[in-house]
Amino acid sequence: MNGATPIADAPGSRDVWSSKLGFIVATAAAAIGLGSLWRFPYVAGANGGGAFVLIYIVFVAAICVPLMIAEMTMGRRGHGSVISTMHRLVKGEGASPAWKAIGWMSIAVPFFGLSYYSVVAGWGVDYARQAIFSGFSGIGGEGSRALFQTLIGAPVRQASFQFAFIMATAIVVALGVQRGIEFVSRIKMTALFLILLGMVLYNAFTVGLGQSIAFLIVPDFSVVTGASVLTALGQALFSCAIGAGVMMTYAAYLPKGVSVPQSAGIVSLSVVVISLMSGLAIFPIVLSSGLQPTEGPNLIFVTLPVAFGSMPGGRVISIFFFGLIALGAFTTAVGMLEPVVAWLMEATGLKRGVLAFATAFAIWLVGLPSLLSFSVLKDVHPLAMLPSFADKTFFDILDFGIAETLLPLNALMIALFAGWALRKTVTPAEADLSPRGYRLWHFMTGIVAPIAILGLMIDMLSR
């Protein structure tokens, strides 16, 4: 590791990925979740399709890849949890202790993020159950909307699904890096690709892909606004898991000889490919059914069941689709739990299994107010005294605090730290870059990325 001395009790000193492929598959599996399978189709649909997709891809290449290289390099150099990694890097650089906040935010984001992320994941599990046992045959728009409200408004059932989801995540993390995370990630990525490919081929032979490909690929820049450009940037950061602590933690388990830039490029490419495939899996069904791809967050849970209910083989397709949503969320949840457990292993010296289940239970408890925001707490607005939060529930506040505040703030701090503070410990050789490549990476990380993320944050906070 280019001279880095491992921390004695760092997770990376005991456990490593089995290979470069194992690291890439696990990292891609952690990044590819609801951001690619649920959020990408509806934000692409709501922002005009092709032009938005092109801008999104540019942001992934220009912003996310350099930041992913930064996080991976920092994790491999620190060789521990995000807390110990930042402590070590700050000490090595003689930098301000304030930079250690990156480590703490990289714990807070996945902990609190998973508490409400698992709520939506629970919906996916519930809809998969609905598809298996009841299906959506003959359901109309109003019926689908009523079904959605009925399902999310059942607190005991939803809490049970959320609990089962988080505990299943804990089982994988408890099994460790190779036996748990890597093993499940390989299964997930294989199943994910096959299911998406099957749905795309089904669409190709039944309703055709021409209209959807045109919608996703052909850019119409007349529909592009400043807001849609910033939405594309936010989607790029969200779907690549930048600032969530996952990349830094997983890179701590890197075996020797793995190229960080190459790994970052492959993971980012995987995110883009799966996002586009999810669009080709969803939009042909929506468009051929006379529905609109601009339905927003309701696209998956309200609009698609209507399409499934009226198409040949719709029940089978709906089972695969909602199973895909649940599966996609699962390894992302694993990636969010691991940074917290890795830190607690260092801080307490307790066994991985004990900490995985204890942390998962704590996250479930913290997530209950978010879950109940759709039923018994739907009329509770805890920050009603603030005009911007007057109508926000617990779920809305947590979503805003994590996805629109802490996540981009942490990404901004990582960009600034990697671009301006890491001068002694991270050299071109450490980052696996040529001197010319290192200068380009430094420019994109230290100048372009901060300006872009700062613009995104100003826009979010001014809404």
Q: What CATH number did the domain enclosing 247 receive?
A: 1.20.1740
In a domain, 366, yes or no: yes
Question: Residue 93 and residue 417: Cα distance in Å, rounded?
Answer: 11
pTM score of the predicted model: 0.89
List, for residues 428-462, the tens digit of each pLDDT value. Answer: 777 788 889 988 998 999 999 999 999 988 887 77
Question: Residue 414 and residue 75: Cα distance in Å, rounded?
Answer: 12
Q: What is the DSSP letter of 4?
A: P
In a domain, 18, yes or no: yes
Question: Residue 400 and residue 413: Cα distance in Å, rounded?
Answer: 18
In a domain, 2, yes or no: no
In a domain, 1, yes or no: no
Residue keyed to tokens 């609905």: 130
In a domain, 4, yes or no: no
Report the 10 Å Cβ neighbour count for 163.
19
Residue keyed to tokens 């779920």: 395
373: Cβ contacts below 8 Å, ≥ 6 apart? 380, 393, 394, 395, 396
In a domain, 212, yes or no: yes
Number of domains comprising the chain:
1
Q: Rounded to the nearest 5°, which phi and psi values hold at 392?
A: -90, 135
In a domain, 285, yes or no: yes
Q: Are 453 and 237 in contact (CB under 8 A)?
A: yes
Which domain does 88 fall in, by range?
11-462
Question: Residue 392 and residue 400: Cα distance in Å, rounded?
Answer: 9
Q: Are 120 and 34 in contact (CB under 8 A)?
A: yes
Give me the pLDDT at residue 37, please.
84
Give me the pLDDT at residue 8, please.
35
Q: Are 343 and 354 in contact (CB under 8 A)?
A: no
Low-confidence ranges of the chain (pLDDT < 50): 1-13
Q: For residue 209, give Cα distances in angstroms to 186, 273, 279, 283.
A: 29, 16, 11, 9
In a domain, 231, yes or no: yes
- CA-derived radius of gyration, the chain: 21
Residue keyed to tokens 């990476």: 441
Q: Are 22 and 276 in contact (CB under 8 A)?
A: no
Give me the pLDDT at residue 352, please.
94
201: Cα within 13 Å, side-chain hemisphere = 6
The set of long-range contacts for 52-58, using a CB threshold of 8 Å and a minimum separation of 24, is 52/224, 52/228, 52/231, 52/232, 53/216, 53/217, 53/219, 53/276, 53/279, 54/219, 55/224, 55/228, 55/229, 55/232, 56/232, 56/235, 56/236, 56/272, 56/275, 57/272
